[in-house]
Amino acid sequence: MNRSKRIAVVSALFGVAVALSVFASMAFISSSPEVVDFTTASGQPVDLTIQTVGTIGFGVHPDWVSYLVKSPSGQWLNTTLWKLPANTKVDVTLLQFDSGSPLRNQEVGGVTGVDDAQLNGKSFSLANSNDQAGVGHTFSVPELGVNVPLPGVNPNATNTCGSAPCSLQFVHNTVTFSFNTGAPGMYRWQCFVPCGGGFLYGNGGPMQTVGYMDGFLEVS
């Protein structure tokens, strides 16, 4: 093959690679969960209501565990990308509908970086994961020092939620707390309890996927 033909072949392959890269990027962008904007009431505390469920029940991974968030308009959304105002108090109500298990790392059973943490109306600073219900998930924002364990629901309950979004008629734990968003930036948040059933050590699948067990706080 002469030089001009080799150049043509290389150029064609390069063009295909670029096209595939652009296609993959556009596919990722179009499939990425939407960002829910909570910055409209700038300067005022933000009310953030979220829930954890054992089975999302819809979408491309209907059997995955997941977080959901209630939008300012009151709609439950399967997204973990939230836009929050900087240096603002966020009052969180977290509805935990999932079961739990003993923690592999007891350190994540402690409450840190938040104010007035309550479990079903009672103050708590530590979740003993060796009790009957265990711990299902955590809400953790490492850069802000935030970690809140979410105790599992009673494993003997008969009225467990089958798929999301779950209503309050199903057995659940209500965890409330407040934290400050701090300076502008992009803060990753996630669950530190391996809950990716069917994946190696429980750390794959929903544990590594934005929209399920981790996401970002876009603080501005």
Q: Does the pLDDT of residue 70 top 90, yes or no?
A: yes
DSSP string for 15-75:
HHHHHHHHHHHHHHHHHSPPEEE--TTTTSPEEEEEEEES---SSS-TTS-EEEEE-TTS-
Q: Is 160 exposed, middle or buried (0-12, 13-18, 19+ CB in 10 A)?
A: middle
Q: Taking residues 50-74, report their average pLDDT.
A: 96
The rounded distance, in Å, linking the Cα atoms of 217 and 190 is 10
Which among 66, 151, 143, 69 is positioned nearest to 112, based on CA atoms? 143
The distance of Cα 126 from the centroid of its chain, to the nearest Å, equals 21
- Give the CATH fold of the 33-219 domain: Immunoglobulin-like (2.60.40)
pLDDT grade, residue 197 (50/70/90)?
Answer: confident
Tens digits of residue pLDDT in 21-60 = 333 333 333 457 899 999 976 678 999 999 999 999 999 9
Tens digits of residue pLDDT in 75-105 = 999 999 999 999 999 999 999 999 999 998 8
Q: Note the pTM of the prediction, 2 decimals.
A: 0.83
Tens digits of residue pLDDT in 120-159 = 999 999 998 988 799 999 999 999 999 999 999 998 999 9
Q: Which long-range contacts (CB under 8 A, 24 or more apart) does 60-64 make?
A: 61/205, 61/206, 61/209, 61/212, 62/163, 64/196, 64/205, 64/206, 64/209, 64/212
| Confidence at residue 19, expressed as pLDDT on a 0 to 100 scale | 37
* Domain edges within the chain: 1-31, 33-219
